[in-house]
């Protein structure tokens, strides 16, 4: 059961505008493809923002520290976050760089290819963060889509204050100095990120375990949780491993599935300390998100996840 005491989650991460193009297939090098049946749209995105919106939609007190440009996109994003109930006091306006932009190609299978122009995200500096800790967070949530020095400083500030750190290891960064993260509660890469850090593709239980053991030697994390797309998730706690199969859904667009997964897992774990129920809830929330288009537009609320589970249980007991 979910505890009703609201926790404060400080997200220190990225904010983007996503240019999403729905396409039949990606062009070959040198080729122009005219997508008569395709669509495009501008959607609020960014790994940090998607996670911040998830926390807010689950009822957490979410404080979002990020950097956007002094431009129309930055202003638009700030208003959207406020409308979601996110605390935007520690959003910073960068006069030198534009708001981050992601170009996202989504194929018919729902699989995506993403190119990120970091803009202001890449200019987040160590000195931008300390003020945000005045919100007395119960947890600090990070990804690798901002400058490395900001991620490392956030970990240092959290450790100084005894605040647990949760890391969604996205996007793939084989060169990130993982040892500088210090103590981490949950470290969660997807398959690509896992391969980038360890050289091992976690395609089944055996390879996922090998990768998780290697990762645990690289990061001082209590739990390694590997997101495995339609296969679900894999968790290693240093002595045992567990597999959590995905929900059976028809994917439309997997953009932000990883952001939703790690945020919901963190939310639930921070609420009640149970890693297993946290991962199961994350699997459900992420599976709902893949049935919807876009990034922040695909994120479910806590009520939707609870309703999904209620309907699934009803169906199961009717089948018995
Ligand atoms: P993103 O597309 O945001 O980069 P990701 O690659 O980081 O996502 P994935 O491993 O693809 O993360 O997916 C995260 C979670 O979403 C999975 O662990 C699973 O719970 C859910 N998920 C993804 N794809 C599917 C699917 N086809 N069916 C059911 N659940 C899915
Ligand atoms: O994880 C999905 C996100 O990655 C998109 O919203 C895009 O902005 C990139 O950051």
Q: Helix/strand/coil (H, E, C) string of 252-277?
A: CCCCCHHHHHHHHHHHHHHHHCCHHH
**Helices marked H in 9-147:** 47-57, 72-83
What average pLDDT does range 264-277 have in this prediction? 98
Ligand 1 atom 30: residue of nearest CA: 287
Q: Is 259 a catalytic residue?
A: yes
CA separation for the pair 68, 123 (Å, rounded): 9
pLDDT score at 4: 65
Q: Among 48, 286, 297, which residue has the most ligand 1 atoms within 8 Å of its CB, making it the best to mutate?
A: 286
The helix (run of H) or strand (run of E) holding residue 137 is none
Please list, in sequence order, all residues whose beta carbon lies within 8 angstroms of the beta carbon of residue 33, skipping any fewer than 6 positions away: 23, 24, 25, 26, 27
Ligand 1 atom 8: residue of nearest CA: 258
pLDDT digits (tens, 9 = 90+) for 230-268: 999 999 999 999 999 999 999 999 999 999 999 999 999
pLDDT digits (tens, 9 = 90+) for 150-165: 999 999 999 999 999 9
Closest CA to 142 of 179, 186, 175, 172: 186
Ligand 1 contact, 165 CB (< 6 A): no
| pLDDT > 70? residue 2 | no
pLDDT digits (tens, 9 = 90+) for 182-233: 999 999 999 999 999 999 999 999 999 999 999 999 999 999 999 999 999 9
Least confident of 60-69, 109-118, 138-147: 109-118
Ligand 2 centroid from CA 46, angstroms: 4
Using the structure block, give the residue that is written with the tokens 């290697």. 214
Can you tell me which atom of ligand 1 is nearest the CA of 47? 3
pLDDT digits (tens, 9 = 90+) for 14-37: 999 999 998 888 889 999 988 888
Q: Is 235 exposed, middle or buried (0-12, 13-18, 19+ CB in 10 A)?
A: buried
């Amino acid at each position: 059961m979910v505890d009703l005491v609201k926790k404060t989650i400080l997200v220190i991460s990225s904010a983007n505008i996503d240019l999403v193009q729905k396409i039949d297939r990606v062009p070959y090098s040198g080729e122009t493809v005219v997508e008569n049946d395709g669509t495009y749209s501008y959607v609020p995105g960014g790994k940090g923002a998607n996670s911040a919106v998830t926390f807010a939609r689950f009822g957490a007190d979410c404080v979002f520290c990020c950097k956007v440009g002094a431009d129309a996109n930055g202003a638009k994003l700030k208003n959207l976050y406020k409308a979601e109930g996110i605390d935007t006091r520690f959003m910073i306006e960068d006069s030198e760089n534009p708001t981050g932009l992601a170009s996202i190609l989504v194929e018919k299978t729902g699989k995506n290819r993403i190119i990120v122009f970091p803009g202001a995200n890449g200019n987040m500096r160590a000195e931008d963060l300390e003020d945000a800790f005045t919100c007395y967070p119960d947890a600090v949530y990070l990804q690798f889509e901002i400058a490395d020095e900001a991620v490392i400083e956030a970990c240092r500030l959290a450790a100084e204050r005894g605040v647990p750190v949760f890391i969604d290891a996205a996007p793939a960064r084989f060169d990130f100095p993982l040892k500088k993260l210090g103590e981490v509660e949950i470290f969660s890469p997807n398959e690509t990120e896992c391969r980038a850090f360890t050289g091992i593709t976690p395609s089944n239980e055996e390879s996922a375990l090998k990768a998780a053991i290697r990762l645990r030697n690289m990061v001082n994390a209590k739990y390694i949780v590997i997101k495995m797309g339609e296969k679900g998730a894999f968790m290693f706690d240093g002595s045992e491993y567990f597999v959590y199969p995905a929900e059976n859904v028809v994917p439309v667009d997997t953009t932000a599935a990883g952001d939703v997964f790690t945020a919901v897992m963190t939310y639930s774990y921070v609420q009640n300390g149970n890693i297993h129920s946290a991962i199961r809830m994350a699997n459900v929330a992420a599976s709902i998100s893949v049935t919807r288009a876009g990034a922040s537009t695909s994120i479910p609320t806590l009520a939707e996840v609870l309703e999904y589970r209620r309907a699934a249980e009803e169906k199961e007991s009717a089948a018995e």
